[in-house]
Amino acid sequence: MTLCPDTVSQPYDTYHCRYVAIQCQTQHNTQFFSDCCHPLAAGESASALPAQCQMPSGVTCSNGEPVSNASPASSAPVAAPAPTTTSTTEAVSTTAPSTGSSDSSLNYGGYATYFYQEGNPGACGTVHSDSDFICAMDQSRYGNSGNTSPLCGQQVQITNQINGNTVVVTIADDCPTCQNSNSIDLSVAAFQALDDLSVGDLPITWKFLN
């Protein structure tokens, strides 16, 4: 899944890697976040960003995640903590498709991002437009991206924790690069219902509706 080249100049994996490497997830509502944590606009170069926005020395990207050249295993602490802290929520939520027991339970600690459809069918097998209100769930929830998940077609209500805006979307894809199991990748229209695309990434709460 990549961000649209006519609005940004970098693939989503590249943006996500830099986002995690400079720890944007801990900098919401700060000047640092405003300066450093948005996707690059078309024609904008990462080298032109302030020094504090640059990738740390010795860190490269692999599949959208930062990897230290000095210690390849160092990428694990970056990616692993968030899913671990939400493991209890995952155990409850994964039963939702069959039991519905967690439909009314809010999920916390995730972030919303957005992606462009580009005419590609999602993991659920249907081609959608950018104006459709759909989402991609973290792969740990979705399951095998080569199969249609029981989550496909379910509706999710998402709330922007910063401004309170809410949107209802239908699950149509999986997200292998989401920050953690409670993060969700949204279609353009769905993200715009929560905030402007320039925000790039925002904290959310969400729940299953069916």
Digit-coded pLDDT (tens) for 64-101: 677 776 544 433 344 444 444 443 434 333 333 333 33
State pTM to two decimals.
0.54
Query: Looking at residues 186-196, what average pLDDT do you find?
Result: 97
- Yes or no: say if 153 and 83 are a contact pair by the CB < 8 Å rule: no
48: helix, coil or strand? Answer: helix
Instruction: Provide the token pair at 141.
Output: 């929830």
CA 41 to chain centre: 18
Instruction: Provide the token pair at 2.
Output: 């990549």
Q: Can you list the domains of the chain with their CATH numbers?
A: 12-79 (no CATH), 86-208 (2.40.40.10)
Residues 6+ apart with CB under 8 A from 190: 114, 133, 134, 135, 158, 167, 169
CA nearest to 186, candidates 210, 170, 203:
170
End-to-end distance of the chain based on CA atoms, in angstroms?
26
Query: Looking at residues 103-124, what average pLDDT do you find?
Result: 90
Which pLDDT score is estimated for 104?
A: 54
Which pLDDT score is estimated for 84?
A: 41
**CA 15 to CA 104: how far, in whole Å?**
33
- Yes or no: say if 198 and 38 are a contact pair by the CB < 8 Å rule: yes
**CA 57 to CA 67: how far, in whole Å?**
11
**CA 41 to CA 74: how far, in whole Å?**
29
Q: Is the pLDDT reported for residue 188 higher than 50?
A: yes
Burial of 173 (0-12, 13-18, 19+ CB in 10 A): buried
CA nearest to 113, candidates 35, 5, 6, 13:
13
**CA 115 to CA 128: how far, in whole Å?**
12
Which pLDDT score is estimated for 173?
A: 96
Q: What is the pLDDT of residues 18-32, one digit of tens each?
A: 888 888 777 766 888
Q: Is the pLDDT reported for residue 122 higher than 70?
A: yes
**Other C-beta atoms lying within 10 Å of the C-beta of residue 84:** 10
The chain-wide mean pLDDT, for the chain, equals 79
Which pLDDT score is estimated for 70?
A: 55
